[in-house]
A and B are shown apart, each in its own frame.
Chain A
Amino acid sequence: MIRHIVDDVYQIAEYLPARAGVEAVLVYVLLNDGLPILIDCGAQVHRVGIMRELTELLDARAPEVVILTHSELPHAGNLSHIAREWPGVRVIVSNVMLPYIEITPQVPLANISTAHAGALLTPAGRPLQFVFALLKDQPGSQWIFDPRTGVLFCGDGFGYATTAADVQLFGDELPGGVSVAQFRGHHQTAFHYLRWVIPERFNADMDALFARHDVRVLAPIHGNAIRADIPGHVARLQQAVAEIRAAGVHA
Chain B
Amino acid sequence: MTTTVFGEGLERVAVRAITPDIFWITHCLGDAAAAIYANYFSMLPNAADYTGHRVVDYPFSAFLIRDEKTLMIDTGAPRQQANTLKAVEHVLGDQPLDYIWISHIELPHAGNAPALKRRYPMAEYVAAAGGEQYALHGLEGARLTAAGEVFTLGKHALEVVAPLFVDHGLSQWAFERTSGMLFTADWAHNLHEPARGECFMFLDEMTAGGYTAALHADDIAVNAWYQFPWLKWTDPDEVCAAIDALFDRYQPRILAPSHGNVIRGDVMGYLPLIKAGMRKAIAM
Contacts and interface: CB of A to CB of B under 8 A. Distances in A.
A73 B242 contact: no
A136 B133 contact: no
30 contacts: A18-B132, A18-B133, A19-B132, A43-B136, A44-B138, A72-B168, A73-B105, A74-B136, A74-B137, A77-B138, A100-B10, A101-B10, A101-B27, A101-B60, A101-B77, A101-B80, A101-B108, A102-B108, A137-B167, A139-B226, A189-B170, A190-B169, A191-B230, A193-B166, A193-B167, A193-B230, A196-B238, A197-B234, A198-B235, A249-B238
Contacts of A72: 105-107, 137, 168
Given A105-B78, A202-B230, 12 more contacts: A25-B136, A72-B105, A73-B107, A73-B137, A77-B138, A101-B79, A138-B106, A139-B228, A196-B239, A198-B233, A205-B233, A249-B238
Interface string B62-105: 00000000000000011110000000000000000000000001
* A interface bracket (residues with beta carbon within 8 Å of B): 35 or more
A102 B107 contact: yes
Contacts of A193: 165-167, 228, 230
Interface in B136-189: 136-138, 165-171
B171 A192 contact: yes
B96 to A, nearest CB: 26
A145 B55 CA distance: 34
Interface of A: 16, 18-19, 23, 25, 43-45, 71-74, 77, 95-96, 98, 100-105, 116, 136-139, 189-194, 196-198, 201-202, 205, 249
Nearest to A101: B77
Interface in B211-252: 226-235, 238-239, 242
A102 B77 contact: yes
A74 B133 contact: yes
Interface residues of B, number: 42
Given A139-B167, A190-B169, A202 B233 contact: yes
Contact of B133 (A16, A101, A139): A16
A16 to B, nearest CB: 6
A139 B227 contact: yes
Interface string B19-44: 00000000100000000100100010
